[in-house]
Each structure stands twice: as C-alpha cells, then as structure tokens.
A and B are shown apart, each in its own frame.
Chain A
Amino acid sequence: MQKIGVFVCWCGSNIAATVDVKAVAEALKDEAGVVFSTDYQYMCSENGQAMIRQAIKDYGLTGIVVCSCSPRMHEATFRKTAVSAGLNPYMVEIANIREQCSWIHKDMAEGTEKAIVLARAAVAKLHRNAPLTAGTSPVTKRALVIGGGIAGIQTALDVADAGFEVDIVEKSPTIGGRMAQLDKTFPTLDCSACILTPKMVEAAQHEKINIISYAELESLSGFVGNFTATIRKKARYIDEDKCSGCGVCTEKCPSRKGLDDFNMRLNKRGAVYIPFAQAIPNVAVIDADQCIHFRTGKCGLCQKNCSAGAIDFEQKDQLIERQYGAIVVATGFKPIDASQFNEYAYNDSPDVVTSLEFERIMNAAGPTKGQLVRPSDLEHPHEIVFIQCVGSRCSEDAEKGKPYCSKICCMYTAKHAMLVREKYPDVNVHVFYIDARTPGKNFDEFYRRAVEQYGVDYIKGMVGKVSVEGKKLHVQGSDLLNGEQVHINADMVVLATAIEPDPTARSLGTMLTASMDTNDFFTEAHPKLRPVESPTAGVFLSGVAQGPKDIPETVAQAGAAAAKVIGLLAKNELTCNACVAHANEAVCNGCSQCERVCPYGAITYEDREIRTPEFRGVRRIATVNEAVCQGCGACTVTCPSGAMDLKGFTNRQIMSEVDAICR
C-alpha cells in the first residue's frame, strides 16, 4: 500500500476563490492510502516546495498528489521537488484544479465537488504508478549528410568545424548540386560558381569531412545516436585514388552521344566525362550505357591514354556500412518536367526552355559558352518572353502542377531579365506574371531595378498558349491591368518551372521513417518552433528537401540543422523518454500488430525464453527499443491481450482514473 501525500494549492485566489481548498484537503484524507493532506497558498513557491519535501520525509510518503494548476505548467517543478526529497519523479501526479476547475466554474460548491473528484482520480492513478527510470543510449559521434548541394556542404562544414566527423553522400559524380549549375545569384548578381566552389574545396579538404560521391543510401537501421547506414557507392569505372582529373580520357573518348546532365542535356558529352571543370572529386566517370567498351567490348581508348592507369572496367558497386549519430537530409530539388506543359510548346520547339536551361545558356561554361543564342539555329534572339508560375500555385485539383509557390522563380526571372538587358540592350524582354513576390532583403529593390532601370516589360497575366510559327514563337497572353489580349512574336520563351523534391526523397523518407507531406517535402517536427528537425529523432532537415527556399535561406537552415546535429553529437549519451511502451512477455502473442502502427519503428520481435507458471519455452515476443519509443501508445490499443502497455499511462492507471471519476 502506498503512502500518499495530497497538497492542495490555493494559487492565491486563483483556485481558492472558487474551490474550498480546505474542504478538498479534508475530503482527501478519507481516501485509501492518503496519510497526509494539506493546503497552502502557493505550492510552487520555495516555501510550498519545502513543505512538500518535509512531508515526504516526515510521513515516509511514497508518492504525492499536487492539486494545482495544469501539469503543463508545474509538473516538472514538483517532480524536481520530489526528487530532491528522494522520491522517484514519476511518483508525482497533478490534479489540474485551476485551468480545468476553478477558472471555469463560478459556484464554490460545484468547484469544490469537482476538485475533490479530480484529486481522487489523481490519487487513484498514483496508486498504480511505479517508479520509472529513463534509459540512456550512447551517441556515435559522426553525422551523415545526404546530398552534397549547398545545403549539405554548409551543414557538413559547420558540423565538421565543431570537431565531428561528417560523411557527405552525393548521388551524382560530384558535389555542388543545383547551385553549381546557376550562372549568377540574386540579388547581388555575383557568380554562383565563384561563391560555391571555394566551399566545395573547403569541404573536400576538411580533415573531418569525407565525401562519398556517386553513392546512395541503400538501407538504414537503428535510431537517434545509433544509426547504421549501408551506402551503395556506384561503380564509376575509374579508380578515384589514381585519377588526377587531367581530362585526357574525356577528350579521347570517341562516343559523343551522351547528353550532358550538368548542362541540362543541352549538349553532348563523351561516355567518360568530368561533370564540370571544378567538380569535386575531380575524377572522371564512365557512363556505361554510352561507353563503346561496355557495349561492344572494343575501344578502350581511355584506358590506353590514361597515364595514371585509373580506368578500371572491372570496378563493381561497393557497399559501405557505417555508424552515425545523426542524419541530415539535404536532398534538394529538381525542376518539374516541363514536357507536361505543352501549351507552352516546350515539346514542339527547342527555343522554349526552362529557366535552369536558360541558366546554362547564359553561363560562360555552358553549352553556348555564355552566348545568348536560340538553341534551334544558334541565332541571336530579339524578343524573349518569360512565363512565371509554370506548374506552381496550381489548384489542388488540377491535373498537373503543384499547389505551392516555388518561391525562387520571381527573383531569378528578374535576374535573368536584368542579365539579358545588361548584356544585350537590343533584346526586348517580357515577363508574364501572376504576382511578383519579392519579400527578402534587397529583393524588392532588385525587382524594381529590373522594371525601372532595365526596362523589362512586366505584364500581369498568364500566357494561354505558345505556338510555333515558322522561326518565331507566337505567345498569346492576357494583360490583366490593361484588360487586353497580348500577342508577342518571340524568339525564345523561358518557363519558370516549379521546383519539386528530388525523386529520391520519397524512398529516402520511407527508409528514415521521416514523415513527408503530400508534395514529398520532408515534414518538420514543428512548423514554427522546430523547423530543422524531422519528427523522427536524430533526423534533421536542410535546404529545399524541407520546402522551397533560396540560397541564403538554405545556408541559414543548413547552419541551423548543423547546430542541432552538434547539440546531439556533443552528448555522450542520450536520456530517453521514461514513459515508453513495454510488452509483458508472459502474455505477448508476438502477433506483429503493434509493429504495424508504431510511427517510429521502435518495435521488433525476438524469440525469447519464457518461464511462467503456465509456459516454459521459446516464444516470439515484441521488444520495444526504449531509445526510439516516444510514448504515443498506438501499439497498446492494437494489442488484444493487453501485453503491450505504456509506462506512466498504463491501462490500469487510466482505468483507475475512470473508476474514480465515475464513482
């Protein structure tokens, strides 16, 4: 039998005005197990807490019930009080007689009666409480960053600078991501490569950073602080240690049919290639689908010409298994497939390009060496039409497109327009837009410069159709401000295509048991207060994988994610949630229903030796990983035998509360 102390707080007049606190304390004295019951003006004050500590000692209390404000307010306070007097913190129950009683009732008799019932329920629950100890689990001091774009690079640099090992897993042959493909960045118009490549080099040279390029996460197990990842490093048929990146092989390669992904497939490249000049690692890769050697068994020119002997046609995929304490998802984005928007003639004319393609055309290292020419005939264009919101901000029930705003298009289109007008004042630039969204430091000024200084023709309205007419593109749109139809015979059309999460995100989310929204963006643990953490402990979010954002926001978020990772890795061990699920092996059926509803993958099954009066032998039993369980209780209700129970909120605790309330 427990020895319970009841402490009724007045909360000044907050409680005492509508609850007869003395009567409550008096009534509780009659409850079974209650050996001490009193009231006090402010239980949470130092004096009040001292009174509780004294009573615990004087009466040898095994548990206390504090009738006071909401447990959300002071449960932690009174738990600490109990601990300081030698009690287990989970032997404390709070009866919420302020928010859920005195503050909502006006009648003293009514309030007092309810307060007594609530206190009785707390006593009834406390009778079923058991001391709980939160477990601990060790932390592997290494982070895995998935994705080597600016988000991943920045997170890795910040984590590594704090002294922790970081692995970057990048699926393409080089890190750099989308930012490496950009020509200039808004609103400063500085060269993207010029600010990105030093960071890439820094990452490559950092002693704590290990870049695993041309690799993807194959599988993942474990939990916060203790993940085990298997990484598939794809065969690039080049020995990374030997290759010097001289590029001789890429020049000698006779196959010229492969499309250059880095240049948005606007030009061709050899079967052996280095994605771009500043690639990291600066190592070639062989595209086996295009390689004549792989297709016919002949050729091998690259091998013959490689003075380093780095070409290895026998290379196989390699599986790397490694332990991590934290995982950062920085998988970024891709532009949506523009071919589904054929009302803009994307499939009909090579002169209709997406903005990322346009970015490559404008880039000095791009397919046209930075010359603004029409892809169809390499002639200089005179009229260019930009179309905004292609696939962004579509209605939920639209057949194609995304419901969200891609956030970056207004700004990069202003940038494109400005760059064209700056370099080629003879070119007329028209922008069809729904809204020009330019919140951000120096953003609106930037946009206004495009309109006011560079004379870009902004037309509020959407384009209905683009049709190919000879060498021209006939653009038909509406000008909502002037209320008229606009017809422009353009030489080029640039589509500001929406961005969407990288296609690998969905399967990765499943692997990490990290939740995603309907658009496949990773969900944050709290939209406002925990924006860089996934609800899955130990998984953090960086960059566009979480939602559309520009470079400065991405870098800021990458740093924030790094701070969270550092905070985790700095710990030697993690304190787990004490209120976790637990399966009673004597009655567990091992039926696997609980596993199905666990949002954290905390439940596994093992064959365990059971010794009960009724059974001796080996049985399949559910096992809860206490470091992973967050204590929701979903499993407890799927369990027909009642074997699975939740500590701190057990079936019997809750039923005792029910009984006390309904008594």
Chain B
Amino acid sequence: MQEMIVNRLRELLASGDYAGVIGWSKGETPFDRTPGLFTEKDLDRLCYDSFCGSNLSKYLIANAKDKKVIALLKPCDCYSFNQMCTEHRIQRENVYVIGVGCKGKIDGEKIRNGGIKGITGVSEEGDLLKIETLYGEKEISRKDVLLDKCLSCKGKEHKCADEVIGESEDTSVGNKYELVEKLDAMTPEERFEFWRGELSKCIRCNACRNACPACSCIKCVFDNPKSGVENKAAADDFEENLFHIIRAYHVAGRCTDCGECSRACPQGIPLHLLNRKIIKDINELYGDYQAGEEIGQRHPLTDFTFEDDEPSVVERRGGGK
C-alpha cells in the first residue's frame, strides 16, 4: 500500500498544486513513526504501515494555513479533521485528503510488554507480525497488539476523503463503554480510588493536550498568565485535577474519541475514559452524536431542547451510589 500511496503522491505533487504532504516517516526505533511534511524530493522517506497510529489531522492547522497540502488520513483521523474544519481551524479547500486504508495499528508498548526483548526489526505477513530480535525471530498475532483505540474503531469509512487508497477494516471489539460502565458500577469511593491512583501518575508533561486534535487552542488557558488559572511552578495538588477535568470539559461535544490522549500519555493514564464518559452521557441524554461525522455540525453543548433533563438526572441514573 505504501508504494501505491507514494506513486499517487508523486503524481499529485508533480502538478505543483500542493506544498507537500502530511505523512509519516520511520523513527529511531522499529515502532516509532514520525509525523512530518514531505515534499516531492523527500517522498522516499515517507512510510505508511501498521505503526502509523498517530492522528495527523492536527498538523494541518499549522501546515494548511496559507497553502494547499495533501493529508494522509486513516478513517478515524477523518473525524478529527472534520471537527477542525467545523471549527474553522482547517480550511477544507486547502487540503486534499487521501484516505489511507487501515486494518488497525500496532501498539509497540504491547509488544514490549509481551516480554519480547532486543527487538531489531518488524515485518508483517497477513495477520502475523514477525519480530526480529537479537535472540531470533518471534511471531505474534496483530490482533493481540492493536492500539487500544483500534479496539473501539469507529468503522472503515473515510468521512472526508477526496480519494481512498487501500482497504480498511473495522477492528472494534466488544462494547467500547465497557470500562466506563465498570467504573459507573463502582461505589464513589472505589471510583475515587481508581482516579486517584491514575491521576497521581500525571507528570503534567502536557502530552495528552499536545496530541489531542480538539485541544488546539492558540493558547491554552492553563498556559495563559492572564487567564487566572495558569499553572504556576508551585502548583497545588488540585491543579492537575483541575487540568484534567477542565480539559475533558473543554473538549466535551467536540472530542471524536480518537484516543490520542491515552496513546500519548507516557504514564499510561487512561485519560480517554473521561472523554468517553462524557460522550456516553451526551449520547444517552441528548441523542446519539458523533463529533466530526460531518463538517458544520452543531455540538450538543451548544444546543438544547426545552425538555432536557435537569442536572439531578445524574443521581437518577445511578450517580452518587
């Protein structure tokens, strides 16, 4: 597929209409894929394979501002792209979207965590991953090491592509709200303990924010010394919570559930569960809504009906048990 993509890109770039293409290149380790803007002359470095899990749509804010570019988007990335177009952060007409086929992306951490050490290279054969290590070759099934976000895949359709290259597959398994429901079923004390355990790991590196396509503010309130809530050096314990709650709230209705926050978190905090809880609430209370489904949607928190439930519905739905 990579070859097909590169050939098509060569064609498109030759027209001179585009300043470049937003895609991936190989990184330092066998699993790293570095996003970047590629021009005709460095197309050789462009790579597209099972490790290109990162969502490139956010790079378009900066790169498609006053020039036309080509973007390689997986089906799930399209939702983020549409949402950013809705919010006028990306000019749709400045981007030629090539929907690239995706059959689920691989989580390098999961391979390492599976006890495979001394990895020197990886290759794919159908559903099998062949991993070359210093100690010989090992085989594992792709399905066992897919990124968590791929397990709640939103489907194989590209919602915004100008053309599609390659086949896609819906890799979702089971109920994506399973963990949210599990937490909902706990007592408040248990939930509190869970989140305390998780959020205590936070080092405030801002990776979640930087990866999040919805967190694309020109200046984040937490960085703005004039906002009154900027994070100071001597932050109190509360501030991390404030950060994560407000971050979840700020992206409420706009979060496409792309899972980048959790994927990016170096501490492995399941931050996406906060967003997914909100998505679940919104769907249940205000009707099914998928952010980024199409351009120009009005999201549920900028909308209302006269008959909406009162906030006390939280208790009636089993909150505060």
Q: Which A residues have a C-beta under 8 Å from some C-beta of B?
A: 518, 586-593, 596-597, 605, 614-615, 619-620, 638, 640-642, 651-652, 655-656
Could you say which of B88, B221, B228 contacts A641, with CB atoms under 8 Å apart? B221
Give bound CA distance, A620 to B303, whole Å. 23
Smallest Cβ distance from A15 to chain B, in angstroms?
32
- Please name the residue on chain B nearest to A598 by beta carbon: B302
Smallest Cβ distance from B253 to chain A, in angstroms?
9
Q: Tell me the B285-303 residues at the A interface (CB within 8 Å).
A: 298-299, 301-303
Interface contact B228-A589, CB-CB below 8 Å:
no
Cβ–Cβ < 8 Å partners of B88 in chain A:
590-592, 605, 620
- Chain B contact residues, majority secondary structure: loop
* B250 on interface, CB distance cutoff 8 Å: yes
Interface contact A587-B302, CB-CB below 8 Å:
no
Smallest Cβ distance from A157 to chain B, in angstroms?
38
Which of these binds chain A: B6-14, B122-130, B211-219? B211-219
6 A-B residue pairs with Cβ-Cβ distance under 8 Å, sorted by A, are A591-B88, A591-B89, A592-B86, A640-B251, A642-B227, A655-B228
Q: Given known contacts A596-B302, A597-B302, is B219 in contact with A641 (CB within 8 Å)? A: yes
Interface contact A615-B302, CB-CB below 8 Å:
no
* B224 on interface, CB distance cutoff 8 Å: yes
Cβ–Cβ < 8 Å partners of B298 in chain A:
596
Could you say which of B87, B217, B229, B251 contacts A587, with CB atoms under 8 Å apart? B217
Give bound CA distance, A590 to B89, whole Å. 8
Interface contact B89-A587, CB-CB below 8 Å:
no
Cβ–Cβ < 8 Å partners of B218 in chain A:
586-589, 615, 619, 641
Q: Given known contacts A593-B87, A655-B229, is B301 in contact with A640 (CB within 8 Å)? A: no
* B186 on interface, CB distance cutoff 8 Å: no
Interface contact B302-A640, CB-CB below 8 Å:
no
Q: A589-B89, A592-B87, A656-B228 are in contact. List 5 more A-B contacts (CB 8 A).
A: A587-B218, A589-B218, A593-B302, A641-B224, A655-B229
Could you say which of B221, B251, B301, B303 contacts A642, with CB atoms under 8 Å apart? B221
Give bound CA distance, A619 to B65, whole Å. 10
Give bound CA distance, A592 to B217, whole Å. 13
Cβ–Cβ < 8 Å partners of A593 in chain B:
87, 299, 302
Cβ–Cβ < 8 Å partners of B185 in chain A:
none
Cβ–Cβ < 8 Å partners of A641 in chain B:
217-221, 224
Cβ–Cβ < 8 Å partners of A605 in chain B:
88
Interface contact A638-B87, CB-CB below 8 Å:
no
Interface contact A589-B217, CB-CB below 8 Å:
yes
Interface contact A640-B250, CB-CB below 8 Å:
yes
Interface contact B217-A652, CB-CB below 8 Å:
no
Interface contact A589-B227, CB-CB below 8 Å:
no
Residue in B218, B226, B301 with the greatest tally of chain A CB atoms within 10 Å: B218
Interface contact B301-A638, CB-CB below 8 Å:
yes
Cβ–Cβ < 8 Å partners of A652 in chain B:
226-228
Give bound CA distance, A592 to B87, whole Å. 6
Interface contact A591-B87, CB-CB below 8 Å:
yes
Give bound CA distance, A416 to B291, whole Å. 59
Interface contact B302-A638, CB-CB below 8 Å:
yes
Cβ–Cβ < 8 Å partners of A655 in chain B:
228-229
Interface contact B219-A586, CB-CB below 8 Å:
yes
Cβ–Cβ < 8 Å partners of B220 in chain A:
641
Cβ–Cβ < 8 Å partners of A656 in chain B:
228
Interface contact B221-A589, CB-CB below 8 Å:
no
- Please name the residue on chain B nearest to A605 by beta carbon: B88
Residue pairs across A and B with CB atoms within 8 Å: the count is 56
Smallest Cβ distance from A606 to chain B, in angstroms?
12
Smallest Cβ distance from B296 to chain A, in angstroms?
10
Cβ–Cβ < 8 Å partners of A615 in chain B:
218
Interface contact B228-A640, CB-CB below 8 Å:
no
Cβ–Cβ < 8 Å partners of B229 in chain A:
655
As a 0/1 sequence over residues 219 to 242 of chain B, the CB contacts with chain A under 8 angstroms (1 = contact) are 111001011110000000000000
Cβ–Cβ < 8 Å partners of A640 in chain B:
217, 221, 250-251
Which are the 3 A-B pairs with shortest beta-carbon distances? A591-B87, A640-B250, A596-B302
Cβ–Cβ < 8 Å partners of B86 in chain A:
592
Interface contact A589-B301, CB-CB below 8 Å:
no
Give bound CA distance, A605 to B89, whole Å. 13
Give bound CA distance, A586 to B226, whole Å. 11
Smallest Cβ distance from B4 to chain A, in angstroms?
36
Give bound CA distance, A588 to B221, whole Å. 11
Interface contact B219-A587, CB-CB below 8 Å:
yes
Give bound CA distance, A652 to B221, whole Å. 12
Cβ–Cβ < 8 Å partners of B226 in chain A:
652
Could you say which of B87, B224, B299, B306 contacts A589, with CB atoms under 8 Å apart? B87
- Please name the residue on chain A nearest to B91 by beta carbon: A620
As a 0/1 sequence over residues 135 to 174 of chain B, the CB contacts with chain A under 8 angstroms (1 = contact) are 0000000000000000000000000000000000000000
Smallest Cβ distance from A643 to chain B, in angstroms?
8
- Please name the residue on chain B nearest to A593 by beta carbon: B302
Give bound CA distance, A638 to B87, whole Å. 12
- Please name the residue on chain B nearest to A655 by beta carbon: B228
Smallest Cβ distance from B311 to chain A, in angstroms?
15
Smallest Cβ distance from B28 to chain A, in angstroms?
30
Interface contact B302-A651, CB-CB below 8 Å:
no
Interface contact A651-B227, CB-CB below 8 Å:
yes
Cβ–Cβ < 8 Å partners of B299 in chain A:
593
Give bound CA distance, A518 to B224, whole Å. 44
- Please name the residue on chain A nearest to B247 by beta carbon: A640
Interface contact A589-B302, CB-CB below 8 Å:
no
Interface contact B301-A587, CB-CB below 8 Å:
no
Give bound CA distance, A588 to B218, whole Å. 7
Residue in B251, B299, B302 with the greatest tally of chain A CB atoms within 10 Å: B302
Give bound CA distance, A326 to B321, whole Å. 55
- Please name the residue on chain A nearest to B84 by beta carbon: A591
Give bound CA distance, A416 to B228, whole Å. 71
Cβ–Cβ < 8 Å partners of B224 in chain A:
587, 641-642
Cβ–Cβ < 8 Å partners of A588 in chain B:
218
Give bound CA distance, A596 to B89, whole Å. 16
- Please name the residue on chain A nearest to B220 by beta carbon: A641
Give bound CA distance, A265 to B230, whole Å. 70
Smallest Cβ distance from B256 to chain A, in angstroms?
15
Q: Tell me the B82-126 residues at the A interface (CB within 8 Å).
A: 86-89
Cβ–Cβ < 8 Å partners of B251 in chain A:
640
Smallest Cβ distance from A83 to chain B, in angstroms?
29
Give bound CA distance, A271 to B7, whole Å. 67
Cβ–Cβ < 8 Å partners of B227 in chain A:
642, 651-652
Give bound CA distance, A656 to B229, whole Å. 11
Cβ–Cβ < 8 Å partners of B228 in chain A:
651-652, 655-656
Give bound CA distance, A623 to B254, whole Å. 22
Cβ–Cβ < 8 Å partners of A587 in chain B:
217-219, 224
Give bound CA distance, A641 to B221, whole Å. 5
Give bound CA distance, A592 to B297, whole Å. 11
Give bound CA distance, A518 to B87, whole Å. 31
Give bound CA distance, A651 to B224, whole Å. 13
- Please name the residue on chain A nearest to B214 by beta carbon: A640
Smallest Cβ distance from A406 to chain B, in angstroms?
23
Cβ–Cβ < 8 Å partners of A586 in chain B:
218-219
Give bound CA distance, A160 to B228, whole Å. 53
Give bound CA distance, A442 to B218, whole Å. 69
Residue in A593, A597, A640 with the greatest tally of chain B CB atoms within 10 Å: A640
- Please name the residue on chain A nearest to B249 by beta carbon: A640
- Please name the residue on chain A nearest to B296 by beta carbon: A592
Smallest Cβ distance from A618 to chain B, in angstroms?
9
Smallest Cβ distance from A607 to chain B, in angstroms?
10
Give bound CA distance, A468 to B86, whole Å. 59
As a 0/1 sequence over residues 14 to 54 of chain B, the CB contacts with chain A under 8 angstroms (1 = contact) are 00000000000000000000000000000000000000000
Smallest Cβ distance from A506 to chain B, in angstroms?
16
Cβ–Cβ < 8 Å partners of A614 in chain B:
219
Cβ–Cβ < 8 Å partners of B87 in chain A:
589, 591-593
Cβ–Cβ < 8 Å partners of B302 in chain A:
593, 596-597, 638
- Please name the residue on chain B nearest to A656 by beta carbon: B228
Cβ–Cβ < 8 Å partners of B306 in chain A:
518
Give bound CA distance, A593 to B306, whole Å. 20
Smallest Cβ distance from B293 to chain A, in angstroms?
17
- Please name the residue on chain A nearest to B83 by beta carbon: A591
